């Protein structure tokens, strides 16, 4: 009788399944093989602890195929071991570094340029307090922008300044404008005023004031014309002839400023009785400009014989001669006198 394979399992009330303990060679799997057969190494033909397919794959991998070896060439080396506080990695050779002391790099100070030698690169000198708005000059000194010096030459012709031009070009153009303005004066920079009373320097008159000046000139010309006409009339009155008397010779009155001169020289045409008053000029005859402010009486000497006559020059324009004694016809007289008048000829 052939042996029969029995599968024994024990199940408790909770459904847990237990198998009876026995050796692996008598315990069979569902495919009919014993457990012992299943635990054998797999071959390329038969499953074992792994599948035959996996076995084939493993057998196809070369020995050492999965062994990794880190490169040792330049750029692949790790930080070397060792080192101590204060040390740094320093170059040793291509791709290799080693620990070594940290060496401070010292930079030279900025080398200033001179008129004959170029400067050199270096550390910028420290600006002092208060130099916050200054700039570093080529001579190595800090300087204020207001003290900056720019060499330039005057432009040959006038041209407007444009954005982006160098300072020396800008200054050259500006200098040309100022130079040309100086040829005709500084009127372009003067303040314009519209009055005729200012005494401030560097001011010019507004064109509108020209009309004011013209009006005043026209008015002045009219006044001058009037004055000239009056002067002509008055100059004609600078002398006045006394011709009223038929006894005495002609008399002449002259005016210079406010001084009036009276002259009468010649021979008597007729005998002049004593105390006889003769009008050389009747009332209203002599011009206002020759009249005194008050009635005047003179006793001038009229001859070498020591004779005198009374001369009255009145404010009403009359002039009279009166001799205290009789004067015969043909008697020669020479009378001169002067007086002041407060009247104006204008």
Residue 77, domain member (yes or no): no
Tens-digit pLDDT profile for residues 138-188 = 887 887 777 777 889 999 988 899 999 988 999 899 888 877 776 555 556
CA atoms within 13 A on the CB side of 340: 1
CA atoms within 13 A on the CB side of 148: 13
For residue 19, name the pLDDT band (cuts at 50, 70, 90).
Answer: low
What CATH number does the domain containing 243 carry?
A: 2.60.40.1830
Please state the pTM of the whole predicted model.
Answer: 0.35
Tens-digit pLDDT profile for residues 267-286 = 999 999 999 999 999 999 99
Residues 248 and 267: beta-carbon distance below 8 Å: no
Higher pLDDT, 33 or 318: 318
Residue 190, domain member (yes or no): no
Beta carbons within 10 angstroms of residue 194's beta carbon: 11
For residue 61, name the pLDDT band (cuts at 50, 70, 90).
Answer: confident
Residue 19, domain member (yes or no): yes
Residue 119, domain member (yes or no): no
How far apart, in whole angstroms, are the C-alpha atoms of residue 89 and residue 97?
Answer: 6
For residue 300, name the pLDDT band (cuts at 50, 70, 90).
Answer: very high
Number of domains in the chain: 2
177: exposed, middle or buried (Cβ count in 10 Å: 0-12, 13-18, 19+): middle
Domain containing residue 328: 239-340
Residue 116, domain member (yes or no): no
According to the model, what pLDDT value does residue 16 have? 73
Tens-digit pLDDT profile for residues 62-84 = 777 777 787 877 777 778 888 88
Residues 302 and 289: beta-carbon distance below 8 Å: no
Percentage of the chain beyond pLDDT 90 is 29
DSSP string, 279-326: EEE-TT-S-GGG--SS-EEE--B-STT--B-EEEE-TTS-EEEE-SS-
Q: Which of 56-60, 66-70, 100-104, 332-336 has the highest mean pLDDT?
A: 332-336
């Amino acid at each position: 009788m052939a042996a029969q394979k029995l599968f024994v399992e024990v199940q408790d009330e909770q459904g847990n399944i237990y198998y009876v303990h026995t050796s692996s060679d008598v315990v069979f799997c569902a495919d009919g093989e014993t457990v012992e057969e299943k635990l054998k190494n797999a071959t390329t033909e038969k499953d074992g602890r792994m599948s035959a397919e996996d076995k084939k794959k493993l057998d196809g991998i070369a020995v050492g195929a999965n062994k990794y070896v880190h490169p040792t060439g330049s750029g692949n080396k790790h930080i070397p071991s060792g080192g101590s506080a204060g040390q740094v990695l320093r170059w040793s050779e291509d791709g290799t570094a080693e620990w070594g002391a940290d060496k401070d790099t010292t930079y030279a100070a900025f080398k200033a340029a001179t008129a004959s030698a170029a400067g050199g690169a270096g550390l910028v000198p420290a600006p002092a307090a208060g130099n916050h708005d200054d700039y570093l000059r080529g001579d190595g000194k800090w300087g204020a922008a207001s003290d900056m010096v720019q060499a330039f030459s005057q432009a040959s012709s006038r041209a407007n300044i444009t954005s982006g031009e160098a300072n020396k070009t800008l200054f050259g153009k500006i200098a040309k404008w100022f130079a040309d303005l100086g040829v005709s004066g500084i009127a372009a920079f003067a303040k314009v005023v519209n009055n005729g009373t200012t005494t401030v320097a560097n001011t010019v008159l507004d064109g509108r004031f020209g009309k004011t000046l013209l009006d005043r000139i026209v008015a002045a010309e009219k006044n001058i014309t009037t004055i000239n006409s009056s002067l002509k009339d008055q100059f004609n009155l600078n002398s006045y002839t006394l011709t009223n008397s038929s006894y005495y010779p002609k008399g002449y009155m002259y005016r210079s400023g406010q001084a009036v001169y009276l002259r009468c020289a010649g021979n008597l045409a007729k005998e002049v009785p004593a105390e006889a008053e003769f009008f050389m000029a009747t009332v209203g005859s002599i011009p206002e400009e020759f009249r005194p402010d008050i009635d005047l009486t003179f006793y001038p000497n009229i001859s070498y014989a020591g004779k005198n006559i009374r001369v009255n020059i009145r404010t009403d324009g009359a002039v009279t001669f009166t001799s205290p004694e009789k004067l015969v016809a043909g008697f020669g007289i020479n009378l001169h006198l002067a007086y002041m008048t407060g009247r104006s000829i204008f």
